[in-house]
Amino acid sequence: MNKKTIWITGGSTGIGKALAIKFSSKGWNVAVSARRVELLNELCEQYENITAFPLDVTNKENCFEIFNEIKNKFNEIDICFFSTGTWNPKKEKDIDVEQMEEVFKVNFFGTVNTIKAVEQHFKDKKNGVITIVSSIAGYRGLPNSTGYGPSKSALNNLAESLYFDFKRSNVRVCLVSPGFIKTPMTDKNDFKMPFLKTPEYAADQIYDGLVNKNYFEIHFPKALTLTLKILSFLPSKLYFNLIGRLTKYQKK
């Protein structure tokens, strides 16, 4: 029986790297993409069934080229996990138009580019999973998040829209909304992060959600995400007052 294959973007560090290792340990072929070639090569040297496919997701043509390389090597791709993201908290506290454009270019349009690259393949084969990685920051507006939060909120809406489009072809669209996971990106935060978890914890939750369950959204840790989901239903006045009190920065 042929091994199943997953394609992971943002696979050089953090959640993407941990998930690549998790799927590799379960016997899957793992195609990992990111811009940092040296980190991808280090990962491939440690795990024989992980293969590097360097990629800049902001380059539309490159997304199609890399997808074709992966398809030619493995023939079939069963799951795509699109998790490329950027975050610069120092530039999020003011309206920095150039920074916001860059965040959307990577977080939102980078994800769109990779989805477009695989769209016809999945619709033709009429099965598989396309996974969009968002964040709890996409649930509702938060302080000091002028670019990152809106980009993730856009991904949430995109995932819901694509759910209907791909369902017609029997393709599952899945949204992943992690809480605070200790990664190089969250290390930039200057506040205490509640319910902080490891990338390995995130990988376990995502693997279970993608392989063993059939949920639209995989969100974790539940103690945090369920609380935020409840808060998102509050009237604006109550929400603003409560979040304002809860998000007073506390130095780590």
Spell out the per-residue pLDDT of the chain, length 252, in tens: 578 999 999 999 999 999 999 999 999 999 999 999 999 999 999 999 999 999 999 999 999 999 999 999 999 999 999 998 887 777 777 888 999 999 999 999 999 999 999 999 999 999 999 999 999 999 998 887 889 999 999 999 999 999 999 999 999 999 999 998 987 777 676 667 778 899 999 999 999 999 999 999 999 999 999 999 998 899 999 988 888 776 664 444
* Residues in a beta bridge with 82: 9, 132
Predicted pLDDT of residue 187: 66
Compute how many other C-beta atoms are within 10 angstroms of the C-beta atom of residue 98: 9
How do the domains of the chain map onto residue ranges? Answer: 5-246
Which is nearest to 206 in space by CA: 3, 71, 2, 6? 6
Rg (CA), the chain: 18
Retrieve residue 163's tokens. Answer: 């759910």
Q: What is the model's pLDDT at position 169?
A: 98
Distance of CA 137 to the CA centre of its chain: 12
Residue type, position 179, single letter: G
Angstrom distances, CA of residue 211 to CA of 164, 174, 206: 21, 11, 8
Residue 88: the pLDDT is: 76
Contact (CB, 8 A) for 115 and 173: no
Q: Which CATH superfamily, name and number, covers 5-246?
A: NAD(P)-binding Rossmann-like Domain (3.40.50.720)
Dist CA 129 CA 102 (whole Å):
27
Residues 109, 26: Cα–Cα separation, whole Å: 31
The pLDDT value recorded for residue 248 is 64
Assess contact for 23 and 6: CB atoms under 8 A: yes
Half-sphere exposure of 46 (CA within 13 A, CB side): 14
- Residue 75 corresponds to which tokens in the numbers above? 């023939």
Please report, for the chain, how many H helices and E strands are present, in that order.
9, 7
In the prediction, which pLDDT does 108 show?
98
Tokens 């392989």, residue?
A: 211
DSSP 208: I
**pLDDT score of 212:** 97
Task: Find all residues with CB under 8 Å of 13, minimum gap 6, and list them.
Answer: 34, 36, 39, 183, 184
Q: What is the pLDDT of residue 31?
A: 98
- The residues near 96 (Cβ < 8 Å, ≥ 6 apart) are 146, 147
Q: Say if CB 18 and CB 90 are below 8 A apart.
A: no
